[in-house]
Each structure stands twice: as C-alpha cells, then as structure tokens.
Amino acid sequence: MRELGVSVSLFMIATLLFFRIPERLHTLL
C-alpha cells in the first residue's frame, strides 16, 4: 500500500511539472 501511495504522489508531481513547464516556456518566450 505504501508503494502505491509513493507512485501516486510521484505521478501527481510529474503532472504538475509537466503542466508548469509549458507556462514557464511561454513566459520566457
């Protein structure tokens, strides 16, 4: 169960970074 929670948390962080990177690129450009 703990491994599942860690995988979910990593997935959430990955999605947040994936959605924040384009915004930073747009602000830089």
- Between CA 25 and CA 8 the distance in angstroms is 26
Residue 7's alpha-carbon distances to 1, 13, 15, 23, 25, in angstroms, are 10, 10, 12, 25, 27
Domain of residue 19 covers: 1-29
Q: pTM above 0.75? A: no
pLDDT of residue 11: 96
List pLDDT tens digits, range 1-29. Answer: 789 999 999 999 999 998 888 787 778 77
pLDDT of residue 22: 79
pLDDT of residue 8: 96
If one counts the domains in the chain, the total is: 1
pLDDT of residue 24: 78
pLDDT of residue 19: 87
pLDDT of residue 25: 78
